[in-house]
């Protein structure tokens, strides 16, 4: 299954499941990345990391290392 | 009537600060939450002296993982405000309501104020407040804090809720089996918690919130803990997910249905808002870094650069040369001197006031203009939303050595002055990153350290430009090395700081907020100058001006006889391993101590100690004391002195800033102790090993010691990062599950 860090800029995906545990996972979920939500990958920072997403109508930035925890369809 | 407390809660960037300023006016108290670096603000509601408004930190959730969230929930549960006014950004309602679903569980009356309603209307969207209120189980009002529309009404609604007392019936946010498990947990902890918080505690236990488990003594009561764990595990098995995820998912699922019912969004033809267009340019792959460089350069140039651009530097020069150079001393002279120019008061009192207090405090207050200008510019960047983009752009570089993208600004500012640099760390949300940035900011060579570099470059190194260059690289190297070393220590490895950050929409600065933030920071600096710095100036003035001559304690003309010289001599042995030996040892020690007042004092002290009369202008051209200094200092010895003074404890003003920002005596001591120890280690390595090459040092036990210190440093630098507690926690949860 593909993970969020591999999604190209401009694509829209749906979250299938979240891996990991603890603070980082909770934070990701608290910010609205939960199962079934749509995510649009807006851009990647000039140095290649982190990435910028649109989720639940707002902009969120997340490191690729953390985005790897998010499995998407 | 008794005082009523209303807590303001909401996400970051929801307009909470604007509302708070609007409701309380000038009637505010700004401090820190006890023992942590999180700012605390409260004030009294305008027109209602008996109502206290408590501003909580901007938070997204009530999880146990971030300092702001823990501070907030501890306040809500322990202090039990009479009502919560929950500010919700109407343009971003889904994520904002997520916090609301948690706030209503606290059993405290909640009023939701949908903010930025003007923008919602402009977008053509509609929010049905009545439906929203029914779904959330509380009263909902609308407002636009920025336009001052509806703020008063929101506060009055919260006041009415506070007077009403009881919270309304809660909506059923969770599905049947989850509510079932929560009901069972409620039942089993009934005797341990107050009734109004029962649901809150039950849900937290369901999430396996360690802080709550500990608070309720579950870590010691195995039977109860296992009983509760059984209910959680059953529910998890049924839902095929972990408890924390179940709760979060269902909250968002509930909000989603609420929003579908209560909010009508006008379909948009063009998805690009003004903010999007700005962002497209500002964080553009090609343009982002150049734009960033220009903005940073502008901030730096205006606040602390040279003429004719820098308002800050002009103000500071005026304060130093005119205000505290002639006006204030002149005023005191007019007050304290009689017609003949003889003091009207005792000689020592005159000296204390003019040389001790006015000179000492004035030297520090001179920075106020630069600090105000800088804080003003940073407040604008913060307010318009650019600060988050800086972190976005710079994160890649800084996280490699344990800092965050936002650490860039403090470090840049510190090249001018460490004090505003340390104060600028306030914009870093993550506590760990903030502390680490505070600790490393002092390593950057600030403006006041330049004369030290200039003196030695001129006196010992034939004005080689490499000295200044290497000093700068040593400063940056110290930041990087310290970042990596400290990140691997237990103090910093504990809580991993996820970089999952909102990029708020750009908006025009709210000038009221900007000016208020500027003033708050400037004022806290001025207050400090009146306390810590005042006292330390008096003490140093005394030590420098008094001593024993021929066995009699008296004021001394010659610094060599002062108490400071005595102390310098007594302490000089400490620096022996750094190569400070012979005649220069005590002079170097004294200079280092006076450097604590302000780093430029190091050079002034050399001027005095080497008996150089007249203006001490050691940077400009070859001065008579260069020869004397060169005779005392060899190249490596000078370099060791230079390194130590660049890296060791900063001046009192900066130490005061560290104390204020750390807001914790242990952390303050740790930060300053670390800086001194690090400076000592690097100077020792430089002298003992470098001196061996140049022939200044001979092979001795100290060489071995320096090698050992170097080895320890390298080990701390390259050892694998110790396992984070997070993993332990995860395993504990796993094993508890399988048990």
**B415-471 residue pLDDT tens:** 777 888 898 888 787 788 889 999 999 998 887 787 788 888 888 887 777 888 888
Residues of B in contact with A26 (CB under 8 A): 61, 63, 65, 244, 248
Contact (CB, 8 A) for A7 and B356: no
pLDDT at B495: 52
Cα of B377 to nearest chain A Cα, Å: 24
**Closest to B709 measured CA to CA, from B735, B689, B736, B729:** B689
pLDDT at B735: 40
Q: Could you give the percent of chain B with pLDDT greater than 70?
A: 93
> B140: helix, coil or strand?
strand
Contact B249 A34 (CB under 8 A): yes
Contact B283 A59 (CB under 8 A): no
The span from the CA of B604 to the CA of B585, in Å, is 17
Q: What are phi and psi of B263, to 5 degrees?
A: -120, 130
Q: How confident is the model at residue B320 (pLDDT cuts 50, 70, 90)?
A: confident
Instruction: Set out the domains of chain A in order of their start, with CATH numbers.
Output: 2-72 (2.30.30.90)
Residues of A in contact with B399 (CB under 8 A): 63
Which two three-digit tokens encode residue A66?
């953390």
pLDDT at B256: 93
If you average pLDDT over residues B2-28, what whole number do you get? 89
pLDDT at B619: 46
**Closest to B528 measured CA to CA, from B615, B410, B657:** B657
**Closest to B40 measured CA to CA, from B26, B25, B20:** B20
The span from the CA of B729 to the CA of B726, in Å, is 5
The span from the CA of B10 to the CA of A63, in Å, is 25
Q: How confident is the model at residue B622 (pLDDT cuts 50, 70, 90)?
A: low
Contact A28 B498 (CB under 8 A): yes
pLDDT at B270: 62
Going from the C-alpha of B391 to that of each of A40, A45, B45, the distances in angstroms are 21, 10, 35
pTM, two decimals, is 0.82
The span from the CA of B249 to the CA of B238, in Å, is 15
Enumerate the domain spans of chain B: 4-164, 176-248
CA-nearest residue of chain A to B271? A57
B28-42, B499-513, B652-666: the lowest-pLDDT one? B28-42
Asked if B318 is an interface residue toward chain A (Cβ–Cβ < 8 A), one would say: no
Task: Report helix angle B532-545 to B652-662, nearest 10.
Answer: 150
Return all residues near B632 (Cβ < 8 A) that are at least 6 apart.
Answer: B582, B583, B584, B587
Residues of B in contact with A66 (CB under 8 A): 498-500
Asked if A8 is an interface residue toward chain B (Cβ–Cβ < 8 A), one would say: no
Asked if B59 is an interface residue toward chain A (Cβ–Cβ < 8 A), one would say: no
Q: Could you give the percent of chain B with pLDDT greater than 90?
A: 31
CA-nearest residue of chain B to A62? B500
Asked if B396 is an interface residue toward chain A (Cβ–Cβ < 8 A), one would say: yes
The span from the CA of B68 to the CA of B64, in Å, is 9
Contact A62 B500 (CB under 8 A): yes
Residue range B481-538, pLDDT digits in tens: 999 899 888 777 655 566 788 888 888 888 888 898 888 878 877 877 677 677 877 8
Strand pairing category for A38-44 and A12-18? antiparallel
Cα of B576 to nearest chain A Cα, Å: 46
DSSP A22-63: HHHHHHHHHTT--TT-EEEEEEE-TTS-SEEEEETTEEEEE-
pLDDT at B427: 75
Among the partner-chain residues A30, A48, A61, the one whose CB lies closest to the CB of B248 is A30
The span from the CA of B522 to the CA of B371, in Å, is 7
If you average pLDDT over residues B274-285, what whole number do you get? 84
Q: How confident is the model at residue B143 (pLDDT cuts 50, 70, 90)?
A: very high
Q: Is the pLDDT of residue B250 over 90?
A: yes
Asked if A18 is an interface residue toward chain B (Cβ–Cβ < 8 A), one would say: yes
pLDDT at B724: 52
Cα of A28 to nearest chain B Cα, Å: 7
Asked if B393 is an interface residue toward chain A (Cβ–Cβ < 8 A), one would say: yes
If you average pLDDT over residues B724-733, what whole number do you get? 43
pLDDT at B83: 95
Cα of A35 to nearest chain B Cα, Å: 7
Cα–chain center distance at B124: 40
CATH code that applies to domain B176-248: 1.10.287.1770
Asked if A4 is an interface residue toward chain B (Cβ–Cβ < 8 A), one would say: no
pLDDT at B97: 96
Among the partner-chain residues A23, A29, A59, the one whose CB lies closest to the CB of B248 is A29
Contact (CB, 8 A) for A53 and A41: yes
Residue range B195-229, pLDDT digits in tens: 888 999 999 999 999 889 988 888 888 888 999 99
pLDDT at B688: 93
Helix (H) or strand (E) holding B549: strand B546-549
Q: Is the pLDDT of residue B59 over 60?
A: yes
Helix (H) or strand (E) holding B641: helix B635-647
Helix (H) or strand (E) holding A14: strand A12-18
pLDDT at B723: 61
Return all residues near B537 (Cβ < 8 A) that are at least 6 apart.
Answer: B356, B357, B359, B360, B361, B597, B652
pLDDT at B731: 40
Q: Which residues numbered 496-555 in B keep a CB inside 8 Å of some CB on A? A: 496, 498-505
Cα–chain center distance at B520: 14
**Closest to B640 measured CA to CA, from B579, B555, B551:** B579
Let me know how many helices (H) and strands (E) chain B has, helices first: 37, 12
Contact A66 B498 (CB under 8 A): yes
Q: What is the mean pLDDT of chain B?
A: 84
Residue range B336-393, pLDDT digits in tens: 888 787 888 888 888 888 877 887 777 778 778 887 888 888 889 888 888 888 888 8
CA-nearest residue of chain A to B285? A46
Task: Report helix angle B288-304 to B368-384, nearest 10.
Answer: 150
Q: Is the pLDDT of residue A67 over 50?
A: yes
The span from the CA of B686 to the CA of B642, in Å, is 11
CA-nearest residue of chain B to A49? B396
Q: Which residues numbered 281-310 in B keep a CB inside 8 Å of some CB on A? A: 283-286, 288-289
Cα–chain center distance at B604: 32
Q: Is the pLDDT of residue B119 over 70?
A: yes
- The residue among B90, B248, B728 with the most chain A CBs within 10 A of its CB, best to mutate, is B248
Q: Which residues numbered 92-111 in B keep a CB inside 8 Å of some CB on A? A: 92, 94-95, 98
- What angle (nearest 5°) sits at the alpha carbon of residue B355, between those of residues B351 and B359? 150
Residue range A6-65, pLDDT digits in tens: 999 999 999 999 998 788 889 899 999 999 999 999 999 988 889 999 999 899 999 998
Residue range B666-677, pLDDT digits in tens: 999 999 999 999
Contact B289 A43 (CB under 8 A): no
Contact B503 A60 (CB under 8 A): yes
Q: How many CB pairs under 8 A join A and B?
A: 131
Q: How confident is the model at residue B727 (pLDDT cuts 50, 70, 90)?
A: very low
Cα of A31 to nearest chain B Cα, Å: 7
Contact A32 B288 (CB under 8 A): no
Task: Report helix angle B243-262 to A22-30, nearest 10.
Answer: 10
Residue range B691-713, pLDDT digits in tens: 998 888 888 899 999 999 999 99
Q: How confident is the model at residue B86 (pLDDT cuts 50, 70, 90)?
A: very high
Q: How confident is the model at residue B319 (pLDDT cuts 50, 70, 90)?
A: confident
- What angle (nearest 5°) sits at the alpha carbon of residue B657, between those of residues B652 and B658? 95
> For B4-164, which CATH superfamily applies?
P-loop containing nucleotide triphosphate hydrolases (3.40.50.300)
């Amino acid at each position: 299954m593909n993970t969020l860090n591999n999604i190209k800029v401009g694509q829209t995906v749906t979250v299938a499941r979240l891996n990991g545990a603890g603070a980082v996972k909770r934070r990701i979920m608290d910010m609205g990345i939960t199962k079934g939500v749509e995510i649009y990958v807006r851009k990647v920072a000039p140095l290649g990391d982190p990435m910028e997403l649109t989720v639940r109508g707002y902009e969120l930035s997340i490191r690729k290392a953390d985005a790897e925890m998010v499995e998407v369809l | 009537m008794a005082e009523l407390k209303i807590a303001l809660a909401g996400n970051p960037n929801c307009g909470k600060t604007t509302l708070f300023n609007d409701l309380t006016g000038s009637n505010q108290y700004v401090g820190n939450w006890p023992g942590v670096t999180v700012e605390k603000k409260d004030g009294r509601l305008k027109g209602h002296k008996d109502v206290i408004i408590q501003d909580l930190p901007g938070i997204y959730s009530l999880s146990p993982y971030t300092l702001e969230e823990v501070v907030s929930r501890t306040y809500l549960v322990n202090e039990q405000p009479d009502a919560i006014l929950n500010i919700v950004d109407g343009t971003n309602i889904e994520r904002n309501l997520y916090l609301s679903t948690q706030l209503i569980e606290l059993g405290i009356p909640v009023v939701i104020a949908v903010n930025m309603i003007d923008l919602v209307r402009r977008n053509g969207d509609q929010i049905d407040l009545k439906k929203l209120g029914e779904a959330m189980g509380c009263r909902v009002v609308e407002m636009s804090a920025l336009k001052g529309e509806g703020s008063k009404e929101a506060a009055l609604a919260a006041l009415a809720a506070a007077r009403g007392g009881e919270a309304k019936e809660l909506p059923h946010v969770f599905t049947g089996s989850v509510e079932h498990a929560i009901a069972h947990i409620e039942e089993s902890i009934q005797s341990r918690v107050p009734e109004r918080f029962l649901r809150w505690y039950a849900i937290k236990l369901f999430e396996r919130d360690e802080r709550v488990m500990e608070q309720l003594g579950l870590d010691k009561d195995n039977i109860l803990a296992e009983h509760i764990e059984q209910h959680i595990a059953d529910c998890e098995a049924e839902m095929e997910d972990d408890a924390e995820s179940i709760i979060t998912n269902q909250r968002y699922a509930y909000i989603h249905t609420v929003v579908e019912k209560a909010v009508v969004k006008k379909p948009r033809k063009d998805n690009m808002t003004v903010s999007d267009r700005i962002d497209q340019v500002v964080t553009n792959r090609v343009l982002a870094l150049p734009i960033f460089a220009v903005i940073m350069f502008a901030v730096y140039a205006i606040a602390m650069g040279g003429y004719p651009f820098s308002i800050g530097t002009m103000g500071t020069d005026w304060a130093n040369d005119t205000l505290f150079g002639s006006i204030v001393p002149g005023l005191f002279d007019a007050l304290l001197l009689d017609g003949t120019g003889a003091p009207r008061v005792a000689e020592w009192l005159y000296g204390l006031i003019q040389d001790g207090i006015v000179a000492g405090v004035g030297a520090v207050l001179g920075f106020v203009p630069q600090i105000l200008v800088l804080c003003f510019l940073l407040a604008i960047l913060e307010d318009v939303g650019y600060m988050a983009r800086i972190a976005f752009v710079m994160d890649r570089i800084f996280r490699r050595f344990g800092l965050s993208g936002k650490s860039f600004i403090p470090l840049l500012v510190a090249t001018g002055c460490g004090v505003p640099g340390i104060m600028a760390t306030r914009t870093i949300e993550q506590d760990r990153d903030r502390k680490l940035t505070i600790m490393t900011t002092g390593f950057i060579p600030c403006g006041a350290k330049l004369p030290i570099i200039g003196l030695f470059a001129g006196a010992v190194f034939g004005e080689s430009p490499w000295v200044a260059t290497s000093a700068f690289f040593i400063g940056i190297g110290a930041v990087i090395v310290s970042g990596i070393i400290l990140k691997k220590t237990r103090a910093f490895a504990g809580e991993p700081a996820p970089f999952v950050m909102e990029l708020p929409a750009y908006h025009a600065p709210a000038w009221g907020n900007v000016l208020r933030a500027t003033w708050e920071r400037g004022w806290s600096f001025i207050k400090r100058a009146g306390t810590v710095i005042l006292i330390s100036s008096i003490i140093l003035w005394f030590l420098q001006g008094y001593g024993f001559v021929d066995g009699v304690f008296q004021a001394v003309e010659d610094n060599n006889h002062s108490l400071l010289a005595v102390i310098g001599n007594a302490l000089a042995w400490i620096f022996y391993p750094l190569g400070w030996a012979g005649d220069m040892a005590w002079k170097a020690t004294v200079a280092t101590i006076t450097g604590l007042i302000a780093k430029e004092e190091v050079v002034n002290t050399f001027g005095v100690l080497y008996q150089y009369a007249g203006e001490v202008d050691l940077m400009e051209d070859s001065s008579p004391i260069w020869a004397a200094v060169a005779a005392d200092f060899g190249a490596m010895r000078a370099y060791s002195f230079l390194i130590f003074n660049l890296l060791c404890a900063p001046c009192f003003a900066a130490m005061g800033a560290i104390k204020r920002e750390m807001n914790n005596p242990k952390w303050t001591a740790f930060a300053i102790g670390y800086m001194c120890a690090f400076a000592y280690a690097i100077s020792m390595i430089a002298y003992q090993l470098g001196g061996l090459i140049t022939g200044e040092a001979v092979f001795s036990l100290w060489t071995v010691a320096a090698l050992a210190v170097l080895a320890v440093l390298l080990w701390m630098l390259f050892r694998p990062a110790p396992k984070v507690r997070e993993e332990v926690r995860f395993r504990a949860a796993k094993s508890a599950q399988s048990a």
